[in-house]
Amino acid sequence: MPCAMAIWRVYLLPLLLLVLLRAFTSLPTQAAARGGADPSSGTDDGKHGSFSRNLLQDKPEITEEMTRGYMSNSELEIAVQDFGRRCANVSRVYSIGKSVNGSPLWVVEISDKPGKREAEPAFKFIGNVHGDEPVGREVLMQLAYWLCDNYLKDPLATLIVENTHLHILPTMNPDGFALRRRGNANNIDLNRDFPDQFFPINDDINYRQPETRAIMSWIKQEHFTASAALHGGALVANYPWDGSRDKRKQYYGCPDDKAFRYMASVYSQSHYNMSLSKEFRGGITNGALWYPIYGGMQDWNYIHGGCFELTLEISDVKWPKASELLVIWKQNKMSMLNLVASLVKTGVHGRIFAADTGRPIPGSLMVKGIDSKISASRTFGDYHRILAPGESYEVVASMEGFTPKRTRIMLERESMNLDFILDPDGAAGQTKRLPRDDCGCSCDDDGKPFLIREAYLWLYLLVVFFLLVLYLLFRRRISSRLARNPPKRPVAV
Ligand SMILES: *[C@@H]1O[C@H](CO)[C@@H](O)[C@H](O)[C@H]1NC(C)=O
Ligand SMILES: *[C@@H]1O[C@H](CO)[C@@H](O)[C@H](O)[C@H]1NC(C)=O
Ligand SMILES: [Zn+2]
């Protein structure tokens, strides 16, 4: 197979070099290599106690005048369908269920292979969770159109379309929107309707609102890496936990606090002026510190879907004049793009394989010191782990029936590709001979990894030793090239 041979020659040596370099750099020198600021060394200030807005009230009355220029539900439905036709190449329109009053909950998925499973991270945006916070639904349609219009023209649009699956639900609460109020048609606040981790509320799935149930099964089905729900009434990127165990208003971080702070900062720092907030340092806040809520969507995503969700307050005014929508879109545009792109440009990504069969397995990935688990997909065994950059981590891949494998990594600003090949229980230590993937599925430009035959490793070690010296000399140049192109070539561990 000429293709496979070429890959051996072109990629294997540099790959082995990277493996060795990894081994070298993960020696004790790393303790001193904690680059960048340590986000855990200071918690959010609790000084923004008195916020004058009342985020929970339906007032002030929403007048006919205020709704002018906003899409009605039927206009939004038409816009979504139009979008599906206009951007048929790179999108798919589907519904995840219906509201109480029977409005379909339309989603547009944007990707170069919409509806197909790929070894790529998936992101979702949800707008209009609260009926009286309609900015999100408008802005999300702008985002969809912008991506469609700029695919293959703008690098960020192209990166998102080609390397992620972006799902956009412009309105989660069409009934509340039509009724001009916060809750749905049953007047239930949907962001209090999810099962809660601290208190036994909302535990019976059968009694959840149809909108809530639709979201819950969507999350179970799609394997999202991250998401954001859009709200209005403030300007801040809010991250878990949303509530605290003792109901006090206090900083209550989840196990992935650092990663969440990083994610929230990606949003606020790319925003026109979110990070300049006087109320929230850096334009981000822990949910429980701001005001604890129970039954929220954000925490449920993280706990039950392994999906890192932010709650974004994108406009001080819940229902601004329609003439301001374009400005608000522009102020949020880079934030939205950078947040989705960060799933590709940062973090640790890879696939988990079984050593005996060479097949991908839906194992899970854990990071030492972080009490959470990210699962790999069933189809491709791909995982996508958001982690704060500039730190060293000990990463463990595991799967029932296999011996876990761990490795220490130094995660820089750019993303890292890390594949795992797990030995079945009891087979550790044996040299495994992996079947080589057929060219058809391993040599295309999808960035899909091929398998390294460990048996050949030793043959190269001698050459590698000499090349390593050379490599170290040119290391700067190579790593700067990696920084420009997020690495697609995997390193197997
Ligand atoms: C969409 O599909 C058409 C026809 O297959 C093709 O010519 C065009 O280049 C595609 N556009 C994009 C943006 O992929
Ligand atoms: C951000 O800019 C808007 C004007 O577009 C202004 O109303 C708002 O007060 C500003 N917020 C911050 C935190 O600077
Ligand atoms: Zn809200």
Residue 370 maps to which CATH number? 2.60.40.1120
Query: Structure tokens of 372?
Result: 């959470």
Cβ-based neighbour number of residue 73 at 10 Å: 18
CA dist 436 and 7 (Å) reads: 12
Q: What is the pLDDT of residue 11?
A: 54
Are 371 and 233 within one domain?
no
Are 177 and 275 within one domain?
yes
Are 424 and 467 within one domain?
no
Are 322 and 370 within one domain?
no
Are 65 and 105 within one domain?
yes
What percent of the chain has pLDDT above 70? 75
Please choose from 89, 145, 151, 152 the residue to mutate so as to test ligand 1's pocket, defined by most ligand atoms within 8 A of CB: 89
Between 45 and 461, residue with greater pLDDT? 461
Cβ-based neighbour number of residue 481 at 10 Å: 11
Total number of domains constituting the chain: 3
Are 74 and 101 within one domain?
yes
Give me the long-range contacts of 268-276 (CB less than 8 A, separation at least 24).
Answer: 268/236, 268/237, 268/335, 270/334, 270/335, 270/337, 270/338, 270/339, 271/331, 271/332, 271/334, 271/335, 272/330, 272/331, 272/332, 273/235, 273/331, 274/235, 274/236, 274/237, 274/335
CA dist 87 and 110 (Å) reads: 9
**Range in 40-49, 227-236, 261-270 the model is least confident about:** 40-49
CA dist 237 and 65 (Å) reads: 30
Are 331 and 391 within one domain?
no
pTM of the prediction? 0.78
Assess whether the C-beta atom of 393 lies below 6 angstroms from ligand 1. no
pLDDT classification of 15: cutoffs 50, 70, 90: low
Does residue 80 lie within any of the structural domains? yes
Q: Indicate which residue's Cα is closest to atom 4 of ligand 1.
A: 89
Are 402 and 312 within one domain?
no
Between 54 and 391, residue with greater pLDDT? 391
Are 339 and 351 within one domain?
no
Query: What would the pLDDT profile of 431-475 be if each residue is shown by its tens digit?
Result: 444 444 333 333 333 333 334 444 455 556 666 666 776 767 766
Query: Structure tokens of 49?
Result: 């106690």
Rg (CA), the chain: 24
Please choose from 48, 51, 53, 235 the residue to mutate so as to test ligand 2's pocket, defined by most ligand atoms within 8 A of CB: 235
| Domain with 341 in it | 54-345
CA dist 409 and 23 (Å) reads: 9
Do β-strands 382-385 and 348-354 pair in parallel, antiparallel, or remain unpaired?
antiparallel
Active site amino acids: 313
Query: What would the pLDDT profile of 82-127 be if each residue is shown by its tens digit?
Result: 999 999 999 999 999 999 999 999 999 999 999 999 999 999 999 9
Does residue 197 lie within any of the structural domains? yes
Assess whether the C-beta atom of 89 lies below 6 angstroms from ligand 1. yes
Are 183 and 264 within one domain?
yes
* Ligand 2 pocket list (CB less than 6 A): 235, 273, 276-277
Q: What is the pLDDT of residue 469?
A: 60
Assess whether the C-beta atom of 10 lies below 6 angstroms from ligand 1. no
Residues in CB range of 298: below 8 A, 6 or more apart: 229, 238, 239, 240, 242, 287, 309, 310, 311
Average pLDDT value over all residues in the chain: 84
pLDDT classification of 52: cutoffs 50, 70, 90: very low
CA dist 302 and 224 (Å) reads: 10
- Which among 336, 343, 275, 342 is positioned nearest to 136, based on CA atoms? 336
